[in-house]
Amino acid sequence: MESEKEALISDQPPIDRHRRSDGAPNPAFRFVVNTFFATLLVLGFQLGMRSVVWRVSNDVSSHCPHRLTYPGEKISWTPCGAIDDHELECATIDVPMDHFNKSNNARGKAFSIPLTRLRGKNATQNLLLNPGGPGGSGTEFISRRGAQLSAIVGENFHLLGFDPRGINKSRPLASCYPDFETRRRLSPVRSKKLVEDSGELFAWTANLVQACADNMGEHGAYINTPQTAADMNDILDAVGQDDMYYWGFSYGTLLGQTYATMFSDRTKRVIIDGVASQFDWYEETLDNEAIQDTDSVFEGFVDECIKAGPEKCALASLAKTKEALSEKLVSEIENLRDNPISVYINSTVYGIVDYWKVWHQVVFISLYRPAQWYATAEKLDSLLRGNATDIFLQIYAQENPFDTEEDAERFVTLNDGKSGPAPWPQDRGEAVSMMQSFFNQSLFADVYYPFYVSKRAWTAVPRTHGYVPRRGVKTAHPLLILSTTYDPVCPLISARGANAAFEGSRLVELKGYGHCSLAVPSLCITHYVRDFLLEGKLPDENARCDADGSPYFAKPDEGDKVTALAQFSDPEDRKIHLAQVKLAREVQFRWKF
Ligand SMILES: *[C@@H]1O[C@H](CO)[C@@H](O)[C@H](O)[C@H]1NC(C)=O
Ligand SMILES: *[C@@H]1O[C@H](CO)[C@@H](O)[C@H](O)[C@H]1NC(C)=O
Ligand SMILES: *[C@@H]1O[C@H](CO)[C@@H](O)[C@H](O)[C@H]1NC(C)=O
Ligand SMILES: *[C@@H]1O[C@H](CO)[C@@H](O)[C@H](O)[C@H]1NC(C)=O
Ligand SMILES: *[C@@H]1O[C@H](CO)[C@@H](O)[C@H](O)[C@H]1NC(C)=O
Ligand SMILES: *[C@@H]1O[C@H](CO)[C@@H](O)[C@H](O)[C@H]1NC(C)=O
């Protein structure tokens, strides 16, 4: 069988003109993390950052010899389609494996970084984007969501998506298995019951982390956020741009904060949206902030459901108050722990619906997107009435045994953070109980269980960075920070923390529920974003935006256009609103956009 890496390397097709993807289905979860480490690397930063080996993706050229070059840029591009009459162009650059110690790059050790650019019609600057993860593909973000992003940002910027080192089409790819067959054979593990499954999970994880290290070799240690931040300078240099223009979502806010701390003099227009705490990420064992508001979003779900009534929320007829509905949902789903339901479609499609799947893969994930609440409520209602077919089909569609994104996420997160056994009790039982007291703070936190077990076991890959997040960081231009009021994984408190850490930065709170500003349509947010990007204009302190329309329990595909027409007389505003509605609706199974 062809090796997984080879198969992926040889396969780097240009993006289809009309490519559509509704997101990588996947059962796994975003592993929020936190972590720490302290070292002394900062001196290395200045040394390594300009040492890029330019390379343009050559496999595309054979069937498409036409090359595009632009004055001031150091690379050439290959046309790779169009989205809504905006041209797309693709290129690949190589970046050194280690930006901060050049002697580690002997024999040309490098990562390739694929780029996809959607050209703005009146643009001179490139806006770099990161969709989150870690593990999310920026090139795929452009091809999947470029139309809506460009409607929001406008014509004055090229949108530039890149696959961070180790991720998606970047090579070498962060992977813990040498090929698909090995992954299929060795990746399943039982990890649903905290105490009962801990023996198997801990033992399995000890092998996994060793396999991650062996499979990646030396490159594995350099898949981390400070290196990726330095890669972003190489991307800017390649397109001949001095100033960083950047909009990062979710994990992309960690990348943005890291960049702004390390390269504050190039930080001209950095937006972080759906903020994670970099202090937790790099310096803490457990991620305390990340779970802060998860349950509040769940409360929002039941509250809005009761308010919407049975017409719009199928679950509303099951209880009279939000408290009663919440209790009913929690106990009925809890009951699936010991009584999973079998669903049989036919001899190739069948499976079981259990607590872990319903609670984490359906309920938790839908907290990211209030626009999904209507559909989630319908499925939960059927389940509670004894029909698990629809919920099973959703879970089934999300499962993807060939997914490597989780590996990428593991490398970045565990390499960044305070990984390894030191802060944990030696004894497995005690380690589990330390995790458990953390999980007990939220109805959903045990979703991170397998993740913390691998964080504790992560010793085979050495930490190579010494980035330390700081407070009082002065950047060339202050940051714009966006957050919803209640974000299930990146709470407002973390946005406030970033606001306090970066001098002069301003925070805009989007009143509502969901992950990142894109979860809720709001023209007000778009105006702040555009004014900031174009003119560097910052909002007043304590700026807040309202959501447009009725984002909760609206029936899908009903009334979008009517709402937009009624609410917005300006055709540009209408276009933005429709793009936002579409983004908010997107089904997404991972912690990214
Ligand atoms: C840089 O890397 C070389 C080769 O791995 C190593 O010997 C040296 O100690 C490193 N320098 C620093 C400052 O870490
Ligand atoms: C085009 O870009 C220029 C320079 O950035 C700007 O002054 C002008 O307003 C833009 N025109 C439109 C139609 O956006
Ligand atoms: C790259 O991203 C696409 C879209 O999310 C996904 O389908 C594909 O599996 C990813 N490939 C890898 C190697 O991560
Ligand atoms: C089983 O059901 C799935 C999903 O509905 C369908 O795609 C598939 O063709 C069916 N297979 C057989 C053997 O009927
Ligand atoms: C369960 O739901 C599915 C999908 O909505 C439907 O096709 C099926 O008939 C239902 N089964 C029963 C027993 O009602
Ligand atoms: C966590 O909660 C469970 C269930 O309520 C309880 O049995 C357990 O003792 C708690 N564990 C810790 C460490 O708080």
Once rounded to an integer, what is the mean pLDDT over residues 491-520? Answer: 97
d(CA 488, CA 507): 18
**Token digits for 494?**
């973390």
d(CA 234, CA 113): 10
Query: Is the pLDDT assigned to residue 182 strictly greater than 60?
Result: yes
Once rounded to an integer, what is the mean pLDDT over residues 194-201? Answer: 95
566-592 per-residue burial string, b: 16 or more CB within 10 A, e: under 16: eebeeeebbbbbbbbbbbbbbbbbbbb
295 close to 444: Cβ distance less than 8 angstroms = yes
Of 160, 146, 151, residue with least CA distance to 240: 160
pLDDT at residue 399 in the model: 82
Q: For the chain, what is the radius of gyration of the CA atoms?
A: 23
pLDDT at residue 587 in the model: 58
Given ligand 5 and candidates 343, 389, 391, which is best to mutate, with the most ligand atoms within 8 Å of its CB? 389
Q: Counting ligands in written order, which one lies closest to the CA of residue 109? A: 1
User: Which atom of ligand 4 lies closest to the CA of 346?
Assistant: 1
For the stretch 211-263, pLDDT in tens is 999 999 999 999 999 999 999 999 999 999 999 999 999 999 999 999 999 99
For the stretch 2-59, pLDDT in tens is 344 433 333 333 332 222 232 222 222 222 222 222 222 222 222 222 233 333 333 4
Tell me the CA–centroid distance for residue 377 and ligand 3, in Å: 29
pLDDT at residue 568 in the model: 84
| Summary mean pLDDT of the chain | 87
pLDDT at residue 557 in the model: 62
36 close to 418: Cβ distance less than 8 angstroms = yes
d(CA 282, CA 469): 7
d(CA 516, CA 452): 24
Q: What does the angle CA 137 – CA 138 – CA 142 come to, to the nearest 5 degrees?
A: 120
Q: Answer whether 122 contacts ligand 2 (Cβ < 6 A).
A: yes
For the stretch 57-108, pLDDT in tens is 334 444 556 899 999 999 999 999 999 999 999 999 999 999 999 999 999 9
* Higher-confidence position of 570 and 560: 570
Q: Which residues make Cβ contacts (< 8 Å) with residue 259, sequence separation at least 6? A: 229, 232, 244, 246, 267, 270
User: Which atom of ligand 3 lies closest to the CA of 402?
Assistant: 9
For the stretch 131-146, pLDDT in tens is 998 999 999 999 999 9
Q: Which residue has the tokens 């000890």?
A: 206
Q: Which residues make Cβ contacts (< 8 Å) with residue 231, sequence separation at least 6? A: 95, 99, 111, 113, 162, 164, 165
For the stretch 429-463, pLDDT in tens is 999 999 999 999 999 999 999 999 999 999 999 99
Q: Which residues make Cβ contacts (< 8 Å) with residue 592, sequence separation at least 6? A: 30, 131, 132, 133, 135, 136, 249, 250, 251
Q: Answer whether 26 contacts ligand 3 (Cβ < 6 A).
A: no
Task: Render 237-264 in DSSP notation, one character per residue.
Answer: HHTT--SEEEEEETHHHHHHHHHHHHTG
Tell me the CA–centroid distance for residue 24 and ligand 3, in Å: 7
For ligand 3, atom 9: residue with the closest CA: 403
pLDDT at residue 553 in the model: 86
**Token digits for 14?**
């240009």
Once rounded to an integer, what is the mean pLDDT over residues 395-404? Answer: 81
Once rounded to an integer, what is the mean pLDDT over residues 321-343? Answer: 97
Tell me the CA–centroid distance for residue 251 and ligand 2, in Å: 31
Tell me the CA–centroid distance for residue 439 and ligand 6, in Å: 9
